[in-house]
Copies of this chain bind each other. A is one copy, B any other.
């Protein structure tokens, strides 16, 4: 029950951030959105920084779920296919994905102005880079780790850049996916030729 309400608060926070931005997040509004009292929010998350930190984690877990959930369907897949699916699943016209990407982009953009968010965001970003580097390593087993990490940093930073362009209507979903797919193939080609 406590867990349900905690989850409801975090779902509400992701929704509010995706709708109005981090700077539009007021605890009163979040309470109304989640159908709980502000006291319960403070009890679970201490303060606004705590809400943002846990929302970040919640968004990360949810992304991991929807980028992994299709993996079992028709596999087994070659390593480069697993990598491609995992990155391309961030570009989907599903409300959950759109909301998640919007909230992540917003948290990333807000960290420019809000030093409190930075450490958590950097940690979450690093975990993601290492995950992508591991998938690259499965596709290209002989490549040294620092080279894989650099390629993963480029692919994830590109994904964030493309995602913001997609969500702000500067790129269509189809074209964003196409550019991402080509980038993966260009980076893999580069790693294989080393």
Contact = CB atoms under 8 A, between A and B. Distances in A.
A20 B114 CA distance: 10
Interface stretch (A58-66, A82-90, A137-145, A153-161): A153-161
A106 interface: yes
Contact of A170 (B122, B164, B178, B187): B122
A164 B105 CA distance: 10
- Count this chain's copies in the assembly: 2
Contacts of A122: 169-170
A168 interface: yes
Interface in A105-123: 105-106, 108-113, 115, 117-118, 121-122
A182 B150 contact: yes
Interface residues of A, number: 44
A30 B111 CA distance: 23
B23 A164 contact: no
Interface string A168-194: 111100000011001100110110000
Given A21-B110, A108-B164, A161-B161, 11 more contacts: A109-B109, A111-B168, A112-B167, A112-B168, A117-B168, A118-B169, A122-B169, A125-B165, A157-B161, A157-B179, A158-B161
